[in-house]
Amino acid sequence: MTTKKWAFENFQEGMTLDLGEKHVTAEEIIEFASEFDAQPMHLDEQAGKASILGGLAASGWHSCAMLMRLMCDAFLLDSTSQGAPGIDYVRWMRPVLAGDTLRGTMTVLATRLSNSRPDLGFVTVRHDLTNQNGDVVMQCKHTGMFLKREAAA
Amino acid sequence: MTTKKWAFENFQEGMTLDLGEKHVTAEEIIEFASEFDAQPMHLDEQAGKASILGGLAASGWHSCAMLMRLMCDAFLLDSTSQGAPGIDYVRWMRPVLAGDTLRGTMTVLATRLSNSRPDLGFVTVRHDLTNQNGDVVMQCKHTGMFLKREAAA
């Protein structure tokens, strides 16, 4: 029996969870892009302004990574998570620009017990990242695996 | 008329492109995880061995970011890319462990011209990341937007 806050039983279809906020700086955008996605609109303000993104904009993968950090801090590190086999989709709907403040919201779409492992369940969620103007900038959907409370250490 | 190597016309259904190799170090795994995905199996060798991943393992989002870097170096930074609206799916099929050497391969699944913008086309691709044992560790599919050669600066 785990003392962790979040086990499979704590997720219920229809519930939403506030994942908190992340302020995005130009320095972070440039640092991530320099290592992983060195396209000009992710490295330089003028190049960003000249692009369809309209300013120095985070790599889409950087937005995914920032969402992951919000998930970790909001619940995942205090959970019985056993990881996820993948991502159903990611939608980059609007640019994430230097100076933006993002808020994550998780919505539980479905839960089900594993057929093959009685100690494990699947939790399907959609994440929304919203900026300070209330615009949704990114959505993604995935299914995570969580141990049942009685099965977790 | 651009002098870039890769414009919309250069992508053809069925073609494959070698994206090159990336050696994955423990230090890189821990650095990425510390910032974005601080789950124990991404931070500590012993915790990784105790998990279903079997060793110090890269965050799935780190694998995505490493794939993006391979794409950039192989063709994207010398292309007419206009970005991508999202990802159709990501499948994390096997752990990416410290010491692995990953190879990326891109397969073009479909190409089509935009209905609304005659200067632009869509290229749908699947990426495979394979480790040094020949095992596919990750797949993802997405559609990128590329300017036609004559339309690009």
Q: What is the pLDDT of residue A55?
A: 97
Phi-psi region of B44 (alpha: psi -120 to 50; beta: other; left: phi over 0): beta
Strands of A16-132 (E only): list them. Answer: 16-23, 86-92, 101-113, 120-130
Spatial contact of B42 and B34, defined as CB atoms under 8 Å apart: no
pLDDT mean across residues, chain A = 96
The residue in chain B having the minimum alpha-carbon distance to the alpha carbon of residue A91 is: B86
Rounded Cα gap, residues B149 and B8, in angstroms: 7
Look at B85 and A65 and tell me if their CB atoms are within 8 Å.
no
What confidence score (pLDDT) does residue A61 get? 98
Mean pLDDT of A13-36: 98
CATH number at residue A115: 3.10.129.10
**Separation in Å, CA A149 to CA A8, A9, A78, B52:** 7, 7, 12, 18
User: Any idea which residue has 């601080």 for tokens?
Assistant: B38
Asked if residue A3 is part of any domain, the answer here is: no
Query: How many residue pairs from chains A and B have C-beta atoms closer than 8 A?
Result: 88
In a domain, A2, yes or no: no
SS3 B5: coil
B1 assigned to some structural domain? no
Burial class (CB within 10 angstroms; exposed 0-12, middle 13-18, buried 19+) of A18: exposed
Mean predicted confidence (pLDDT) in A142-153 = 92
Establish whether this prediction's ipTM goes over 0.85.
Answer: yes
Angle formed by the axes of helices B60-74 and B26-36, to 10°?
110
pLDDT given for residue B1 in this prediction: 77
Give a yes or no: residue A1 inside a domain: no
Q: List % helix, strand, coil for chain A (3-state, nearest 5).
A: 30, 35, 35
CA distance linking residue A38 with residue A31, whole number of Å: 10
Provide the pLDDT confidence category of residue A153 given band limits of 50, 70 and 90. Answer: confident
Position A133 in a domain = yes
Closest listed residue to residue A29, CA positions, set A69, A51, A60: A60
Integer Cα distance of B148 and B151 in angstroms = 5
Chain B residues within 8 A of A68 when measuring between CB atoms: 36-37, 59, 61
Tokens 């985070």 belong to residue:
A58
Q: What is the pLDDT of residue A152?
A: 81
- Burial degree of B52 (CB within 10 A; 0-12, 13-18, 19+): exposed
B135: helix, strand or coil: coil
B90 to chain A: which residues are within 8 Å by CB? 86-87, 90
B145 DSSP β-pair partners: B122
User: Which structure tokens are listed for A50?
Assistant: 């000249």
Q: For the whole model, what pTM was predicted?
A: 0.97
Question: What distance in Å separates residue B82's CA from the closest CA in chain A?
Answer: 8
Domains identified in chain A, total number: 1
Reported as a pLDDT band with limits 50, 70 and 90, residue A151 is confident
pLDDT single digits (tens) A87-127 = 999 999 999 999 999 999 999 999 999 999 999 999 999 99
pLDDT recorded at residue A140: 98
Profile chain B (153 residues) by mean pLDDT over runs of 10 residues. 92 98 98 97 95 95 98 97 96 98 98 95 98 98 96 80
Which domain range does residue B90 map to? 8-151
CB atoms within 10 A of CB A3: 9
Q: Is residue B36 part of a domain?
A: yes
User: Does residue B47 belong to any structural domain of this protein?
Assistant: yes
Please report the pLDDT score of residue A23 as a whole number.
Answer: 98
* Residue of chain B with shortest Cα separation from A50: B82
Q: Does B37 touch chain A (CB under 8 A)?
A: yes
Task: Calculate the alpha carbon distances from A93 to A60, A99, A130, B114 in Å.
Answer: 10, 18, 10, 18
Q: Is residue A13 part of a domain?
A: yes
Contact B34, B43 (CB under 8 A): yes
Which candidate in B61, B77, B114, B137 is best for mutational testing of the A interface (most A CBs within 10 A)?
Answer: B61
pLDDT for A52 equals 86
B72 touches A: beta carbon within 8 Å: yes
Contact B63, B32 (CB under 8 A): no
